[in-house]
Amino acid sequence: MTATKTVLQADVLVPGSAVRAEALVLTAPISFWGGVNPQTGLIADVRHPQHGVSISGRILCLPGTIGSSSAAAVLLELVYAGLAPAAIILNEPDAILLLGLIVAREMGHAVPPGLCLDKEEFPRFASRVLSINADGGILIEAL
Amino acid sequence: MALTLTEEERAIASGGTGEGAAMAMRIVAETARLMGAPRLLPIASAHIDGALYHGDSGTLFAERLVEGGARVTVRSTLNVGSIDLTGCSKNRLGDHERAMARRMMDAYRRLGCEPSWTCAPYQAGHRPALGSDVAWGESNAVVFCNSVLGGRTNRYGDFLDIACAIAGKAPYYGLHRAENRRARIVFDISAIDPAFLASEVAWPILGNLYGRLLGDAVGVVAGAAVHPDEDALKAFGAASASSGAVGLFHVAGVTPEAPDLATALHHQEPEEIIRVTPEMLAETRRRLSTVADVSAIDAVAIGSPHLSIAEFDRLEALIAGRRLRVPLYACTGRHALNLLDEAGRRRRLEDCGVIIVADTCVVVTPILPEKDGAVLMTNSGKFAHYAPGNTGYGVLYGSLAECVESAVAGRPVFVKEAA
């Protein structure tokens, strides 16, 4: 029969346990500092297309990151407050943002995985439930 | 290429010299691995931007390093914190935030960092040698270090700056590599009136335009009929690093890696030449203000980056003992504050209505009074960029002379437009 599942392979930048959650695909790059509220997990940048949406518990697909070098501090604060995304998928490695996960792991927190995948793949994730295994395999669950 | 650590680095990362040092080395090594660096390189100094409070987790991180016995192994100056520890100015932080911000500042001192608390460490006696590798944070300090001093640093963010300072090492990639310091874009200002270039507002406005057009690319400013002095280069860099992600610029005939245009380009063809016109500068100047046609201002803020003593000399001369109708917040570091205090100059400025802000500044911590529809005037391209989002104040941009005259009058006073 026709396949109802799709499997993609992402590179693992920061390893984490397997996760299953709904994807949130951002349609514009974001600056975490000033762009995401660390106390609420909501996108705070009024000029961002997904302004007001919560990134907490979602598989956050980022087409790009911009701006301040304090992005890692905001991401660490989100992990600390239990408001972090379930996983982060980046178009390219971003040391400043991912440092938030590296430091969170050093501080003994359970850390969402950080993955790298071509952003051309992101649109098909929109509002779908994804399962990501520890090796970076991404399964798009059937509707 | 995979990352290779030395035997010593591996021993430190696995706890041979204590858990704090191990954590720092692991953070540096993990970043190196992520960025594809082949190895770590030794650094001569660090400037630490991580002591600004964003939430409790940052304080707990610094305290974990202290508990693990970590100490910086190279000279490390501190960027601004969230509290003015000198007591010159007050902020509106809540009790919990203030206590955690203070604990954070204390923790960084206990790690062995110098309590310089300034975003202009390069004017507080910390000037890396040409060609030396360092790990600096704070965007304006990074761009000044790379461009004006010729020290080599990437844009180090929170956590990585202190981790490098403890490890004494940084990942070998980006602007640490000579080939990545080549200018690829020429920013030609030969069509700009020399009289405008000699004015104080020229370089912050040029910097804002440069940052917006170049993003994170390395470029060279060419055709400057008037050469910028150090405070002008400081203003240019700060403006460019807030409107863009500029880490390194060259000015042909001025900055150390650009004795001439060809050298800045590493004797290769530029990928692009941007010919700056007076119209582009006039448009940039308009964009720096977010309000127009206002009949009053609520405050003036200057000192981003922190004021040098030479800038205080000009401020005093312009105020000339007059009483200001609205407060003028003058942000600076202890390097300048101590000199002001020795000569009794701080008190005289305060008597005129100047509020000195030391150790911090008005866009990173709540110092300005809360007021709907308030207007802030500034001569800083960086304050103009960040004030609307961070303080809620609308911004009017003007020269230092215009800022002072407006503070005296309590309403915007502009002299004849130069651009």
A11-43 pLDDT, tens per residue? Answer: 999 999 999 999 999 999 888 887 899 999 999
Chain B positions touching A93 (Cβ under 8 A) are 34-36
Separation of alpha carbons B78 and B105, rounded Å: 9
The partner residue sitting opposite A98, judged by closest CB among B34, B54, B58, is B34
**Chain-chain contact of B35 with A93 (C-beta, under 8 angstroms):** yes
Are B324 and B239 members of one domain?
A: no
Domain total for chain A? Answer: 1
Q: Which single residue is written with the structure tokens 């990134």?
A: A55
By the CB < 8 Å criterion, does A98 face chain B? yes
The domain in which residue A68 lies consists of: 6-140
Q: Does any domain span residue B415?
A: no
Which CATH number covers residue B73?
Answer: 3.30.499
Are B195 and B271 members of one domain?
A: yes
Q: How far is the alpha carbon of A33 from chain B, nearest alpha carbon, in Å?
A: 9
**Chain-chain contact of A103 with B61 (C-beta, under 8 angstroms):** yes
Q: Does any domain span residue A1?
A: no
By the CB < 8 Å criterion, does B97 face chain A? no
Closest residue, chain B, to A12 (C-alpha):
B34
For residue A142, the surrounding DSSP H or E stretch is none
Are B307 and B402 members of one domain?
A: yes
Are B322 and B247 members of one domain?
A: no
| Residue A69 a catalytic site member | no
Query: What local confidence, expressed as pLDDT, does residue B418 receive?
Result: 46
Which CATH number covers residue A109?
Answer: 3.50.30.10
Chain A interface, best mutation among B3, B25, B30, by max A CB count within 10 A: B30
Are B309 and B262 members of one domain?
A: no
Are B142 and B39 members of one domain?
A: yes
Categorize the per-residue pLDDT at A67 as very low, low, confident or very high, splitting at 50, 70 and 90: low
By the CB < 8 Å criterion, does A99 face chain B? yes
The count of other CB atoms within 10 Å of the CB of residue A15 is: 14
Q: How far is the alpha carbon of B31 from chain A, nearest alpha carbon, in Å?
A: 6
Q: Does any domain span residue A40?
A: yes
Q: Which of A31, A68, A70, A131 is catalytic?
A: A68
Q: Does any domain span residue B204?
A: yes
**Chain-chain contact of A73 with B57 (C-beta, under 8 angstroms):** yes
Chain A interface, best mutation among B159, B242, B290, by max A CB count within 10 A: B159
HEC string for chain B: CCCCCCHHHHHHHCCCCCHHHHHHHHHHHHHHHHCCCCCEEECCEEEECCCCCCCHHHHHHHHHHHHCCCCCCCEEEECCCCCCCCCCCCCCCCHHHHHHHHHHHHHHHHCCCECCCCCCHHHCCCCCCCCCECEECCHHHHHHHHHHHCCECCCCCCCHHHHHHHHCEEECCHHHCHHHHCCCEEEECCCCCHHHHCCCCHHHHHHHHHHHHHCCCCEEEECCCCCCCHHHHHHHHHHHHHHCCCCCEEECCCCCCCCCHHHHCCCCCCCEEEECCHHHHHHHHHHHCCCCCCCCCCEEEEEEEEECHHHHHHHHHHHCCCCCCCCEEEEECHHHHHHHHHCCHHHHHHHHCEEEEECCCCCCCCCCCCCCCCEEEECCHHHHHHHHHHHCCEEEECCHHHHHHHHHHCCCCCCCCCC
Query: What local confidence, expressed as pLDDT, does residue A2 receive?
Result: 45
Q: How far is the alpha carbon of B239 from chain A, nearest alpha carbon, in Å?
A: 14
Query: What local confidence, expressed as pLDDT, does residue B419 receive?
Result: 44
Are B135 and B23 members of one domain?
A: yes
Of the three residues B146, B177, B208, the one that is the final residue of a domain is B177
Domain total for chain B? Answer: 3
Query: pLDDT tens digit string along A86-102?
Result: 999 999 888 889 999 99
Interacting residues of A49 by C-beta distance below 8 A, sequence separation 6+: A26, A27, A28
Give the mean pLDDT of A42-50: 87
**Chain-chain contact of B31 with A71 (C-beta, under 8 angstroms):** no
Per-residue pLDDT tens listing for chain B (419 residues): 699 999 999 999 999 999 999 999 999 999 999 999 999 999 999 999 989 998 999 999 999 999 999 999 999 999 999 999 999 999 999 999 999 999 999 999 999 999 999 999 999 999 999 999 999 999 999 999 999 999 999 999 889 999 999 999 999 999 999 999 999 999 999 999 999 999 999 999 999 999 999 988 999 999 999 999 999 999 999 999 988 889 999 999 999 999 999 999 999 999 999 999 999 999 999 999 999 989 999 999 999 999 999 999 999 999 999 999 999 999 999 999 999 999 999 999 999 999 999 999 999 999 999 999 999 999 999 999 888 888 989 999 999 999 999 999 999 999 865 44
For residue A90, the surrounding DSSP H or E stretch is strand A87-90
CB of A86 within 8 A of CB of A21? yes
By the CB < 8 Å criterion, does B264 face chain A? no
Query: What local confidence, expressed as pLDDT, does residue A94 receive?
Result: 86
The domain in which residue B207 lies consists of: 182-286
Q: How far is the alpha carbon of A69 from chain B, nearest alpha carbon, in Å?
A: 4
Are B170 and B211 members of one domain?
A: no
Chain A positions touching B58 (Cβ under 8 A) are 73, 76-77
Are B221 and B314 members of one domain?
A: no
Of the three residues B177, B211, B236, the one that is the final residue of a domain is B177
Of the three residues B160, B177, B194, the one that is the final residue of a domain is B177
Predicted complex ipTM: 0.90
Residues in A 47-86 with any Cβ partner in B closer than 8 A: 66-74, 76-77, 79-81
